Amino acid sequence: MALRSARPLDVGSAHVIVTGGSSGIGLATARLLTERGAKVSLIARGRERLEAAGKELSAAARAADVADQAALTRAIAELEEERRQPCDILITSAGLARPGYFLELADEVFREMIEVDYFGTLYALRAVVPGMVERGRGSVVAVSSAAGLIGIFGYSAYGPAKFAVRGLMESVRAELTPRGVHVGVVFPPDVDTPQLAEENQWKPAETRAVGGTIKPLTAEKVAAAIVTGIDRRRFVICPDTGTRALARFGSVLMPLLNREFDRRVRSIARAAKRA
């Protein structure tokens, strides 16, 4: 294996591919990178929002389901051909969150979370990383979640998929950094996006209690953290102090956090008995 020192990546001349780029964190990040002069390409499943985002940013766009490896690989290849430039920066923001009680969630929900959140990340990396290694430069950034740092009530399907994203990026970081490729993983808490609005329809009361009254971050704040992480070649990218502390001290804090989470869950059970 030929080792290469890290070479600075000029974002202004880079071709950036963003999965889940039609809304939320993906779209906000695409906006920032477009403002920096990058050639941005978007991939998303919903054609209507994708077309609107592509038009807004003058971005190339392809509709594809990230859980379909053949379709995703084809979309990436077409975007590289259209832009006449290989992917220099990949941001995998496509994802699904479906909270619910473990005993009530259908098996299909567990499977879908892994297929979209984990395999959707893996397939995108598999499509672009070989070229980055060959060129000795590039950046791949995956969006995990605060639920990928600690197990949370109600996220028995979503959390493991985001833990898997974290594990994947930790492993490939060790392999790709010596080859000149930056690897980053993002751990956002709740973010004010269409995905959160959909997620909230299914969220158990206990999950809401565990989350407390923390105001969701804006997609723009998370996007700014991602772009800074690319500029500074950071591995762990945390957009707020809470997830930063969790990423750094989670193993130490876990007994205290679990005790507090259990207290909040019991309070919901007591309230339900009184009702």
The residues with which 195 forms a beta bridge, in sequence order, are none
Active site positions, annotated: 144, 158, 162
Q: CA 34, 219, 165, 54 torsion: positive or negative?
A: negative
Per-residue pLDDT of the chain (275 residues), as tens digits, is 555 555 668 898 999 999 999 999 999 999 999 999 999 999 999 999 999 999 999 999 999 999 999 999 999 999 999 999 999 999 999 999 999 999 999 999 999 999 999 999 999 999 999 999 999 999 999 999 999 999 999 999 999 999 999 999 999 999 999 999 999 999 999 999 888 888 889 999 899 888 766 789 999 999 999 999 999 999 999 999 989 998 988 778 888 888 888 888 888 877 777 76
Q: CA 137, 60, 96, 146 torsion: positive or negative?
A: positive
Number of H helices, E strands in the chain: 10, 9
pTM of the model: 0.92
User: How high is the pLDDT of residue 253?
Assistant: 80
Residue 267: partners with Cβ closer than 8 Å, 6 or more residues away: 209
User: How high is the pLDDT of residue 54?
Assistant: 96
Quote the CA–CA distance of 229 and 144 in Å, as a whole number.
14
User: How high is the pLDDT of residue 117?
Assistant: 98
Q: CA 35, 41, 46, 51 torsion: positive or negative?
A: positive
Contact present, 80 and 87 (Cβ < 8 Å): yes
User: How high is the pLDDT of residue 213?
Assistant: 64
User: How high is the pLDDT of residue 8?
Assistant: 65
User: How high is the pLDDT of residue 249?
Assistant: 84
Contact present, 36 and 231 (Cβ < 8 Å): no
Using DSSP, state whether 93 is helix, strand or coil: coil
